[in-house]
Each structure stands twice: as C-alpha cells, then as structure tokens.
Amino acid sequence: MAQSGRTLARKTPSSARKAAAEAPRAWQRMLSGRRLDLLDPSPFDVELEDIAHGLSRVARWNGQTSGANPYSVAEHSLLVEVLVNEFKPGLDTKWRLAALLHDAPEYVVGDLISPFKAAVGLDYKALEHRLMAAIHLRFSLPSGLPQQIEKLIKRADLASAYLEATTLAGFSEEEANKVFKRPRLAENLWQRLAPKPVTANRAKAAFIDRANDLLAQMSGQKGPPAGAGEGGPRG
C-alpha cells in the first residue's frame, strides 16, 4: 500500500498538467500583452487601452444603426457619463467614472442585446459581474456600487438607449417610449446629445481622454475642465 501511495504521488503532477492542457482555454490575450482570465479576472490584467480599444469596436444594436459608422459601446458609454451628470449635477467624480465604465465588460464579452442576455441566463450575468468587479478594483472603485448609483446609471443607460433608438436604430418615438421611456431632458439637450457615430479610432481616443480626465480629478491632479469633451466624440 505504501508503494502504491508513492506511485500515486509521482503521477499526480503529470495528471494535473495533462488535465490543464486539455481544459478549454478561458483567457484572452489583449493587445497590451495582458492575458485576462475570463473565469477569474484579475484587476492587474485590466488596462484602459484594452477597454477603449475593445469598446470602440463593439457595435450597439447588433450593428443595426444608420450612418457610415457603427455606433459603438464606447460612444454609448460617453453619452451615459454625460447623462448621469445631467440627472444629478455635481455628482462625485468616481461615480461619473463608474458610469463611463458601466459597460466595460463588453470589451471582452461583446454587446449582447437585452433579449439575448435573458435567454443566456445567469451564467452570463455571473461572468459579467466578475469582470466588472475586476475593472472597478483596477480603477479604485468599489467592486459593487451603492444602490442609488446603480439606479442613476441605469436611468442614464435607458435615456441613452431612447436617444439611440429614435436617432439611429429606426424606432418611432411611440415604440421607443414603450420600451425605454422618453427621458426628461431640457429641450436644448435633445439636439446636443443626439448620437453621431464616428470612427472606431476617434471613439477610442475620446473614451481614453475622458477616462484619464476623470482619473486625474479623482487623484487630485489638475485636469481639463470637467465639461471638456462632454457629449462624446465629434465628427
């Protein structure tokens, strides 16, 4: 029995290596060189450049929008960040950053439309939550947001969806109001905030600039004026 035990001990490392080699790959290599484990993501493997690059190349509405360029998740995120401050002026900078990053996991998993998320079920949400927690920790945010901030970001997210639906995605105002509810916005904001899709590179640059601006404000450094770049990329 003792000999059998020693033999088992010698085989175990080899068996473990074989099992690891045969296991499905659960990580993605990013352009930064980081290797992000999708099942156990680490904040140390999260980079702003990777997030911005991915989000600027993920199309909202499954690409079913008008215009020469797809409307990206990066552009949507910029709009949501503007809207949270419209709904709650003077909002703490860290919560504006949280709004900008509210769809950040989609740089890895893509933008699934809401009906598909419902069909996929809890496994998708669990993966999304783990990614979001790692992203938040990377940028000095709590892994879980206060409930009132979650509600505020959701309100801005729905307002953005309404603007996108009626401007780009072919919804009538009546249809969009049933699905998303028409947001309460000052009349002068409707035209200023209307989504205008730009190239992926411009969206990426705008996302990085805004994130760095907010991070600089959080760290107490002097950055561009708080309103700089509001409304997202132009042109």
The mean pLDDT value of the chain amounts to 84
**Helix ranges restricted to H, the chain:** 2-22, 48-55, 73-87, 93-100, 106-109, 114-120, 122-138, 147-167, 173-180, 187-193, 200-218
Strand partners, 35: 29
CB 82 within 8 A of CB 99: no
Render each residue's pLDDT in the chain as its tens digit; 235 residues. 444 444 444 445 555 455 555 557 678 888 998 999 888 899 999 999 999 999 999 999 989 999 999 999 999 999 999 999 999 999 999 999 999 999 999 998 876 655 555 555 557 778 888 999 999 999 999 999 999 999 999 999 999 999 999 999 999 999 999 999 999 888 788 888 999 999 999 999 999 999 999 999 999 854 444 333 344 554 4
Q: CA-to-CA distance for 89 and 81, rounded, in angstroms? A: 12
CB 131 within 8 A of CB 108: yes
Question: Of 93, 96, 91, 77, which Cα lies nearest the Cα of 231?
Answer: 77
CB 171 within 8 A of CB 165: yes
Domains in the chain, start-ordered, CATH in brackets? 41-218 (1.10.3210.10)
Cβ atoms of 85 and 217 closer than 8 Å:
no
Residue 72 β-bridge partners: 59
What one-character DSSP code corresponds to residue 152? Answer: H
Amino acid, res. 35: R
d(Cα 141, Cα 155) in Å, to the nearest integer? 20
Find, among 156, 109, 116, the residue nearest to 130 by Cα. 109
Beta bridge partners of 59: 72
CA dist., res. 200 & res. 190, Å (int): 24
What's residue 149's pLDDT? 97
Joined together, the tokens standing for residue 227 give 């309103």
Contact 57, 72 (CB under 8 A): yes
